[in-house]
Amino acid sequence: LQRIRCGQAWMEEETWPDVSDSGLLDNLTEWLLPFMNGVSNMKTLKKVDIHQALTAYLGWPLNQKIDEWLPERYTLPTGQSRQIDYQEGKPPMLSVRVQEVFGEQASPTVASGRVSVVLELLSPARRPIQITQDLAAFWQGSYHEVKKEMKGRYPKHPWPDDPANHVATTKTKRQLNS
């Protein structure tokens, strides 16, 4: 639902169904009723797949494009993927360890390149160290200050001078050298 609402805001030229709270309530028979077959008690009601119902409510063209425009996950240069968090009225957010985005020249984007994803960059211990919507500027600027502090705190992990052109990793220096 949050992805659809973000899509409405960022891609206004598309024809989106009304997914406001009142719109969903007004159109329950259109989007939810087809998924209520056999529901006769609370136990079976809990099994109704709301995600599937909302996906069907989007209709064929949007249903085919939403995963392309607003992916649920982002594949990192390491090959691993992380979930993108969508919230109405805010840019999408991705939490990732800083070493996993080495080699990335710029922040990832969604909505056909219109919206930059906010990166919550984490230490090797997964503690937040920086939030940025402009990864290139981070590499050029405050990364060097972060690197000084983190290099002392996490000496086993790589902290290259040029992170934008370094290989992304989830490994320690020792694991990389072996």
CA distance 88 to 134: 20
Q: What confidence category does residue 178 fall into, taking pLDDT thresholds of 50, 70 and 90?
A: low
> CA 165, 166, 170: angle at the middle one, nearest 5?
145
Rg (CA), the chain: 21
pLDDT in tens, 28-45: 999 999 999 989 999 999
CA distance 50 to 31: 9
Q: Is the pLDDT of residue 52 over 90?
A: yes
Q: Is the pLDDT of residue 124 over 80?
A: yes
Q: What is the distance between the terminal CA atoms of the chain, rounded to a whole angstrom?
A: 46
Q: What is the reported pTM?
A: 0.88
pLDDT at 136: 95
Q: What confidence category does residue 107 fall into, taking pLDDT thresholds of 50, 70 and 90?
A: very high
pLDDT in tens, 53-92: 999 999 888 988 999 999 999 999 999 999 999 999 999 9
| Contact status, residue 144 vs residue 78, Cβ threshold 8 Å | no
